[in-house]
Amino acid sequence: MDPAPAARLRFPGISRAPTGGGTLVAVSEHVPAPVRRRASAPVRETVHPGTPVARARTEEIPTTERAFFVEEFRGSTVVVALPEVEAEGVAALRRSVEGFAAGDTRFVVVLPDADAVAVLLDALATTAVGVESMAATSWDEAALARLWVAAQDEPVLLIDASTAPAVKNAPVPDGAGVPDGDGVPASAAHPGERVAAVCGQVAAGLRASKVMLTDPGGGLGDPARSFVELGHSRAALEADLAARGSAHLLPAAEQALRGGAFSVNLCRAADLEVELFTFDGAGTLLTLGGYTALSPLRVDDLPAVESLVAQGVADGILKPRSREAIARIAATGLGARLRSTGHLAGVVGLETTPYAAQRVGEISGLITVSQFSGAGSGGMLIDGVLQLAAERGLRAVFAVTVSDEAAAFFLRRGFHEVPQSQIPPAKWEGYAPERLALARCYWREVTAITDSAASPAADRLR
């Protein structure tokens, strides 16, 4: 398999837009093994953190990104809630179905009524993929078995949500991986509520890995926030959705996530293709329990780390390094990985040998990939490297940068700026004079930072 393309690089800790309650901060007890290793391919460009990322239009989706996501979702099931059947949304769904056909990706689309099912059947009739339809029902074991079989029989399964029985109390997600409740809330006042409820039940019943909730309001915020982690930002998300009359989306998202989905995407129906096929997307990605987790870098990660560092050097973010120096970053450092696939979302090194006499370490090569810039990867990497420093008996760590944005990031993470003279002299041996003139130094004491057994970083590294 060809290496997967990496997105634009950013300094860590800066999301595409503020997230109110904070960007997603992943919490991990144990680092899962990746599904498969996919190295990062050449990076297109780098951007300064905090700069809004322009959203791709359909005609601008790069071929490399399309190919990446075809592999990303190969053999997977994507559940889509489509409460409003309009031309733009139908066209975007059709293009998405056709685009993923080569990867054997299956789509289960929840629609408001039989008329909407008929529209989708007509729209997909001329595609090369098979389509089946069924009516929503009470999801007992027999119905659940029929759902599983139907979802496997054809690439596209259309579900009519209007036939779902109404119940007095809204179902409460229980995380059991099966539909919770026998139908939709009796209080559901419009088709969108019914579609969302059935979507959550179907996604949980299938334990689908990806769920797309479409809503006329699109993602959260303007521009849309990249990531929202429900464990940290549920109240803010609930308030935002309620303010725009879409409160019913939150229970559906939670039920899907507790049922096994790695993530739920919230976007406009017309943006489905962009959200599914691009790194930057067009909506907001919702997670529960974290999207990324820390783990030591492997030798198999070296090509990806080299690619990230090379592009960082080309854009003036990182200083030039030999292959051995890059390998030292990888051998001594950590990677932030996506829980679902093992893809690297960011890397950092901790170099100690040159500074052993002073018992300090250098944070080196800290960089994150922009499609995960809102996932808190940079902060997680700093927390992890501080834990490593404490375990190795270091008294302090330092970082050197020529970037104002990176400098601001280190200040937010508890570092303070110090003169170059406070940095161990070994750091400046062979340092380029033109870079030295711009270099700014940041220092943080390690003592008692991560000694507590309750430290999130300690949990991540177990």
pLDDT value of position 204:
92
Give 257-311 pLDDT, tens digit per residue. 998 888 899 999 999 999 998 877 888 888 887 667 788 888 888 888 888 888 7
Rounded distance between C-alpha atoms, residue 355 and residue 64, angstroms: 42
Domains identified in the chain and CATH numbers: 54-290 (3.40.1160.10), 293-461 (3.40.630.30)
Burial class of residue 181 in the structure, from the number of CB atoms within 10 Å of its CB (0-12 exposed, 13-18 middle, 19+ buried): buried
335-to-198, 246, 317, 347 alpha-carbon distances in Å = 38, 37, 19, 4
pLDDT value of position 462:
26
- The larger pLDDT score, comparing residue 368 to residue 445, is at 445
- The larger pLDDT score, comparing residue 457 to residue 217, is at 217
Res. 120: pLDDT tops 90: yes
How far, rounded to the nearest angstrom, does the alpha carbon of residue 148 sit from its chain's CA centroid? 27
Evaluate whether 253 touches 286 at the Cβ level (below 8 Å). Answer: yes
Instruction: Count CB atoms within 10 A of the CB of residue 300.
Output: 10
Rounded (10°) CA dihedral 288, 289, 291, 293: -170
pLDDT value of position 205:
92
CA angle 447, 363, 387 (to 5 degrees): 40
Tokens at residue 262, please? Answer: 């790695």
pLDDT value of position 228:
81
Question: What pTM was computed for the model?
Answer: 0.65
Q: Which of 57-66, 71-80, 331-340 has the lowest mean pLDDT?
A: 57-66
pLDDT value of position 65:
81
pLDDT value of position 40:
38
